[in-house]
Amino acid sequence: MKIIYTDVLIIGGGLAGLRVATGVRERGNDAVVLTLVPPKRSHSAAAQGGMQASLANCKMGEGDNEDVHFSDTIKGSDWGADQIVARMFTHCAPKAIRELAHWGVPWSRVRRGDHTSIINAKKVTISEKDEAHGLITARDFGGTKKWRTCYTSDGTGHSMLYAMDNKAHEDNVEIHERLEAISLIHENGRCCGAIARNLMSGELVAYVAKATTIATGGYGRIYSVSTNAIICQGIGQAIALETGVATLGNMEAIQFHPTAIVPVGILTTEGCRGDGGLLLDKDGYRFMPDYEPDKKELASRDVVSRRMTEHMRKGKGVKSRYGDHLWLDITILGREHIEKNLREVKEICENFLGIDPAVDWIPVRPTQHYSMGGIRTKYTGESQTLKGLYSCGEAACWDMHGFNRLGGNSVSETVVSGMLVAEYISDFLDSDESDITIDTKNVEKFLKIEQDKIDTLLSKENGEDAYELRRRMEEIMMEKVGIFRNGNDLQDAVTELEELLKRSKNIEVFRSKSRASNPALENAYRTQKMIKIALTVAYGALLRTESRGAHSREDYPKRDDANWLKRTIMSWGDESDTMPTVSYEEIDISTMELPPGFRGYGKDLTQHHDNTKVRQEVVDKMKEELESKGANRFEIQNELMPFLDKLPKKYRGRNERFGEI
Ligand SMILES: Cc1cc2nc3c(=O)[nH]c(=O)nc-3n(C[C@H](O)[C@H](O)[C@H](O)COP(=O)(O)OP(=O)(O)OC[C@H]3O[C@@H](n4cnc5c(N)ncnc54)[C@H](O)[C@@H]3O)c2cc1C
């Protein structure tokens, strides 16, 4: 039996996991990172368009600050987000981006003088100030009032991840590659580490830790077509769920990105539209201004994806043997711009479509992209119900995205939440509360449970084919739990997924019975976990009889604040259960800085909560009084919804901007 002891175990070597590792190391703690792939191959490397931080350096970002970023984020979330968390995030994003610059991320910079940009299909000359020359610049993105998305060409995730990984090595973080966490060790409501499987040798290893962080990314691969890497399977969420103690939040909140290429589903960044690209239909007609006259192609992602689907349903899609699609036209930006700022998009078009996007239109269709739901945490990143378990990045429901994430807010979340959670974990480790005493016999018990499961899988005969079950699960999710949802389809999805889960208890490993380096074995034990995650998504979506953000019910088109201003919380009662257990967490309007309102897209169908009006009146009155006394924006914000006391002291300071006192 192999047991490895450490202060902090971090499951996941993407941006979020590495940022936590660096942070806890800097506070003098030991950290071990487990990862399926070398960290630089984590899915974060695929992020293209950029990272949101309200620096306000470039001309089109002028006037931006934390307040504007906060308001965009809350509106984007359709008021589903935790406003305290969103405030903590927007306050820290400028700090995180500057830290990354210091660690070597070559952010694209402002260049003094005139440059041309395409805005609303027209060439516009923009003049950058002399004094801004050399500072980090930003591009436009969907659902934002200012140009706030900072970037390194369209390889932002790549350069962030390389810098983060180098930093982790510099800080002597121990990285255990090709080690997959397959269950958590826990007793009496306390998480004590994880059981991991060496993907090369098949050996099981127990990691015992005072604090365990799950930073395993999203669960997009429960859908048949996704922009996510194939390792984004939701195993991190599943092992938390399987404790029966930790909970998942808002699993039904799934984002579809408007512009994945057809048929493979690889993303072309929102930066394409941010930089001026257009969406066209089969007649070459630009349709988005008809639906969203104000934001057009740059409405929030959920909105654009729905409008595109609506337009294709009207028969305006381009027919292809892979189904209908629309066109993304970036030819308008010119070859020089594409080769400089959208070079990954160019390579994707060349390699996967055989086209040149400087000349040809790109075939695109909305595709599964992001998981707003995840392991439900407190603002500290700790599970609300399992002590010593933390989560951050896309794996978590921290919950700054609510029911729709803004483009550029995710890589930003990974480094901001990683930076903060590392401090909260370190504080926890500094306290007596973090002490654990776990009998090695109990650790052995957890190892044995996993060993027995693998032995059963390998010895099973005449069982089910995991690949078949998984393929069917992916199809169900795509067809019945997609962009537009309805009660009948969702009920069918839940019924069939439950059936698949029952069948998954009888999986046989076909092809190879090897314990080492065996993808068929990995698929066999992951499939059941993935079906459980799919069930939490489909069941949550079935029960939520309203439309909010990316969760759009055709049979319940209104956002129903009166009944549904709450988070869906899922747990898994017992190993023998075939359905998750559901409860809800109320979102309190009476403490909101920005009470629920109209998001600004289409018709306002909101059914308001009784407390909304009351809170709005309180907020308006407080603002008026404070303004009349000459209070500045920080003082006003602090009166409306204090949050600074929740932040680690070293991150409380104000951000500096041009012209801001
Ligand atoms: C194509 C694409 C482009 C995107 N572009 C942008 C963008 O421009 N801006 C933006 O803000 N967001 C973007 N996003 C979203 C963003 O990239 C992700 O949300 C973010 O990078 C997730 O980072 P993470 O650290 O949480 O997880 P990941 O980067 O997914 O890392 C997960 C880690 O967990 C490990 N892991 C998983 N399961 C296990 C296990 N069981 N045991 C051990 N290790 C495990 C993996 O090996 C990996 O190291 C994009 C997403 C996609 C799909």
Which residue from 37, 42, 153, 529 has its CB within 8 A of the most atoms of ligand 1, so it is best to mutate? 42
| Rounded-to-integer distance, Cα 155 and Cα 105, Å | 11
Quick: pLDDT tens for 255-264: 999 999 999 9
Catalytic residue numbers? 257, 273
Given a cut of 80, whether residue 468 has pLDDT beyond it is yes
What is the average pLDDT across 530-553? 98
Query: How far is the centre of ligand 1, averaged over its atoms, from the C-alpha of 162 (Å)?
Result: 13
**Mean pLDDT of the residues in the chain:** 97
pLDDT of residue 453: 97
SS3 label, residue 280: strand
What is the average pLDDT across 175-183? 98
Query: How far is the centre of ligand 1, averaged over its atoms, from the C-alpha of 369 (Å)?
Result: 11
Query: How far is the centre of ligand 1, averaged over its atoms, from the C-alpha of 170 (Å)?
Result: 22
Query: How far is the centre of ligand 1, averaged over its atoms, from the C-alpha of 47 (Å)?
Result: 8
Higher pLDDT, 658 or 26: 26
Residue with CA nearest ligand 1 atom 6: 47
pTM for this structure?
A: 0.97
pLDDT of residue 347: 96
Residue with CA nearest ligand 1 atom 24: 217
pLDDT of residue 660: 80
Given a cut of 90, whether residue 606 has pLDDT beyond it is yes
Query: How far is the centre of ligand 1, averaged over its atoms, from the C-alpha of 42 (Å)?
Result: 6
Calculate what percentage of the chain has a pLDDT beyond 70: 100
Pair of tokens at residue 439: 């009998």
What is the average pLDDT across 370-378? 98
Given a cut of 90, whether residue 658 has pLDDT beyond it is no
pLDDT of residue 250: 98
Using pLDDT thresholds of 50, 70 and 90, give the confidence band for residue 517. very high
- Tell which residue, 13, 402, 384, 342, has the closest CA to residue 175: 13
Which residue from 43, 150, 199, 225 has its CB within 8 A of the most atoms of ligand 1, so it is best to mutate? 43
What is the average pLDDT across 354-379? 97
- Using CB distances shorter than 6 Å, the residues near ligand 1 are 11-17, 34-37, 39, 42-44, 46-51, 156-157, 180-181, 215-217, 227-228, 231-232, 235-236, 267, 269, 369-370, 393-395, 407-412, 414
Query: How far is the centre of ligand 1, averaged over its atoms, from the C-alpha of 503 (Å)?
Result: 30
Given a cut of 80, whether residue 335 has pLDDT beyond it is yes
Quick: pLDDT tens for 436-465: 999 999 999 999 999 999 999 999 999 999
Ligand 1, atom nearest to 41 Cα: 49
Using pLDDT thresholds of 50, 70 and 90, give the confidence band for residue 489. very high
* Amino acid (1-letter code) at residue 659: G
| Rounded-to-integer distance, Cα 22 and Cα 29, Å | 10
Quick: pLDDT tens for 231-262: 999 999 999 999 999 999 999 999 999 999 99
pLDDT of residue 549: 96
| Rounded-to-integer distance, Cα 615 and Cα 624, Å | 14
| Rounded-to-integer distance, Cα 48 and Cα 20, Å | 22
| Long-range contact set of residues 66-70: C-beta below 8 Å, sequence gap at least 24 | 66/90, 66/91, 66/655, 67/633, 67/637, 68/145, 68/146, 68/148, 69/93, 69/144, 69/148, 70/593, 70/594
Ligand 1, atom nearest to 50 Cα: 8
CA 269 to chain centre: 15
Ligand 1, atom nearest to 180 Cα: 42
Using pLDDT thresholds of 50, 70 and 90, give the confidence band for residue 511. confident
